[in-house]
């Protein structure tokens, strides 16, 4: 089960990041050109659903299946002194949950916005910060956590 969830979590990250970056670029261009595009809520809703699924899979990995997290929880004090264990036990889940909160705030702001300009501004600000945090906390192969770009 661990391998299946890890594959799902690994590949969903690409969909989340690509759609998130698309929404940020699109909201920036809409603001720059004073476009009155009104389909931002639809795309943002799809992003929120996708990211929610990604987080649910991540929580399952964290809470039940990850041997790395299990190892960290055996001796939490020692794990905090080890970069990789601290990343998986504390840093990655905490920052990703913060990203999820910002994503839902963006969705809330877009729903409450009175005009497309306010919607685009909310997406640019809140989703921009959320996606930036995601990019920083994604375990890239060139980082200290050494995870592959694609799992085969």
* pLDDT score for 39: 77
Residue by residue, pLDDT tens for the chain (152 residues) are 999 999 999 999 999 999 999 999 999 999 999 877 767 788 999 999 999 999 999 999 999 999 999 999 999 999 999 999 999 999 999 999 999 999 999 999 999 988 888 999 999 999 999 999 999 999 988 877 778 788 77
Distance of alpha carbon 113 from alpha carbon 62, whole angstroms: 35
Residue ranges per structural domain of the chain: 2-137
* pLDDT score for 81: 95
Alpha helices in 1-152 (DSSP H): 2-33, 40-60, 67-74, 76-79, 83-86, 92-112, 116-122, 128-137
Contact at 8 Å (CB) between 38 and 69?
A: no
* pLDDT score for 88: 94
């Amino acid at each position: 089960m661990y391998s299946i969830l890890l594959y799902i979590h690994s590949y969903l990250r690409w969909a989340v990041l690509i759609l998130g970056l698309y929404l940020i670029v699109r909201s920036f261009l809409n603001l720059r050109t004073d476009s009155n595009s009104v389909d931002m809520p639809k795309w943002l809703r799809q992003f929120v659903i996708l990211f929610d699924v990604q987080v649910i899979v991540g929580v399952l990995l964290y809470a039940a299946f990850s041997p790395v997290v299990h190892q960290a929880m055996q001796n939490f004090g020692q794990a905090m002194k080890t970069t990789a264990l601290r990343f998986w036990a504390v840093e990655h889940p905490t920052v990703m949950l913060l990203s999820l909160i910002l994503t839902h705030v963006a969705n809330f702001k877009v729903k409450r916005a009175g005009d497309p300009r306010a919607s685009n501004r909310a997406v640019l600000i809140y989703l921009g910060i959320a996606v930036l945090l995601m990019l920083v906390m994604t375990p890239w192969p060139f980082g200290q956590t050494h995870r592959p770009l694609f799992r085969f």
